[in-house]
Amino acid sequence: MFRITINGIKYQYFSDLKLSLNYTGFVSTFSFNAPFDPDIELHRSIFKPLGYQTVKIYYNDELLLTGNIVNHKIEDQATPTNAAFSGYSKSGILQDVSIPTSLYPLQSKDRTLREIVDRLVSPFNISVKYINAYEADIKYSDTVADQGNSVGAYIHKLCEQRDLRLSHDVYGNLVISKPVYPGIFTNFTDNYRAVNSNISVDGQAMYSQLTAIRQASIGNDVQAQSSASFPITFRPLVQVQQDGEHGDIEKMAASMLSNTARAISLNLHLDRWTNYDNKIYKPGYVVGYQNSQLGIYSSVNMFIESVELYEENKLEVSNISLIPDWAIFDVEPNNPFS
Per-residue pLDDT tens over the stretch 156-211: 989 988 889 999 999 999 999 999 999 999 999 999 999 999 999 999 999 999 99
Per-residue confidence (pLDDT) for residue 207, from 0 to 100: 94
Per-residue confidence (pLDDT) for residue 259, from 0 to 100: 87
In degrees, rounded to 5, the angle at the alpha carbon of residue 195 between the alpha carbons of residues 191 and 198 is 95
Domain final position from 215, 232, 260: 260
What residue numbers bound the domain in which 106 lies? 97-177
pLDDT band at residue 224 using 50, 70 and 90 as cut-offs: low
Give a yes or no: residue 305 inside a domain.
yes
In degrees, rounded to 5, the angle at the alpha carbon of residue 53 between the alpha carbons of residues 51 and 54 is 155
Do both 189 and 319 map to the same domain?
yes
3-state DSSP assignment of residue 163 = coil
Domain final position from 241, 260, 279: 260
- Give me the percent of the chain exceeding a pLDDT of 90: 70
Do both 111 and 54 map to the same domain?
no
Give a yes or no: residue 169 inside a domain.
yes
Give a yes or no: residue 164 inside a domain.
yes
Per-residue confidence (pLDDT) for residue 80, from 0 to 100: 67
Do both 105 and 167 map to the same domain?
yes
Give a yes or no: residue 337 inside a domain.
no
Distance of CA 334 to the CA centre of its chain: 22
Domain final position from 37, 64, 90: 90
The domain that holds 156 is classified in CATH as: 3.55.50.10
C-alpha neighbours within 13 Å on the C-beta side of residue 263 = 16
Is the confidence at residue 290, as pLDDT, over 90? yes
3-state DSSP assignment of residue 41 = helix
Per-residue confidence (pLDDT) for residue 189, from 0 to 100: 95
pLDDT tens-place string over residues 73-107: 998 887 767 899 999 999 999 999 999 999 998 88
pLDDT band at residue 222 using 50, 70 and 90 as cut-offs: low
Core vs surface per residue 15-35: b (16+ CB within 10 A) or e: eebbbbbbbbbbbbbbbbbbe
Q: What's the distance, Cα to Cα, between the start and end of the chain in Å?
A: 41
Calculate the alpha carbon distances from 75 to 68, 81, 83 in Å: 21, 7, 7
The domain that holds 294 is classified in CATH as: 2.30.300.10
In total, how many domains does the chain have? Answer: 4
pLDDT band at residue 218 using 50, 70 and 90 as cut-offs: very low
pLDDT tens-place string over residues 100-156: 999 998 888 889 999 999 999 999 999 999 999 999 999 888 888 888 889 999 999
Q: Across-strand partners of 309?
A: 19, 318
pLDDT band at residue 249 using 50, 70 and 90 as cut-offs: confident
3-state DSSP assignment of residue 156 = helix
Contact predicate 156/164, CB 8 Å: no
String of DSSP letters for 78-122: SS---EEEEEEEGGGGGGTPBPPGGG---EE-SEEHHHHHHHHHG
Distance of CA 271 to the CA centre of its chain: 23
Mean pLDDT for all residues in the chain = 90
Do both 63 and 14 map to the same domain?
yes
Do both 229 and 115 map to the same domain?
no
Do both 160 and 243 map to the same domain?
no
- Give me the percent of the chain exceeding a pLDDT of 70: 94
Do both 192 and 272 map to the same domain?
yes
Is the confidence at residue 252, as pLDDT, over 60? yes
Closest CA to 294 of 179, 188, 223, 182: 188
Do both 8 and 140 map to the same domain?
no
Give a yes or no: residue 333 inside a domain.
no
Give a yes or no: residue 71 inside a domain.
yes
Per-residue confidence (pLDDT) for residue 128, from 0 to 100: 96
Give a yes or no: residue 332 inside a domain.
no
Do both 298 and 189 map to the same domain?
yes
Model pTM above 0.85: yes
pLDDT tens-place string over residues 297-322: 999 999 999 999 999 888 899 999 99
Do both 150 and 18 map to the same domain?
no
Per-residue confidence (pLDDT) for residue 246, from 0 to 100: 46
Closest CA to 36 of 54, 48, 20, 18: 48
The domain that holds 222 is classified in CATH as: 3.30.1920
Do both 148 and 269 map to the same domain?
no
Do both 72 and 116 map to the same domain?
no
CA distance 76 to 83: 10
pLDDT band at residue 328 using 50, 70 and 90 as cut-offs: very high
132: left (phi over 0), alpha (psi -120 to 50) or beta: left
Give a yes or no: residue 9 inside a domain.
yes
286-303 mean pLDDT: 96
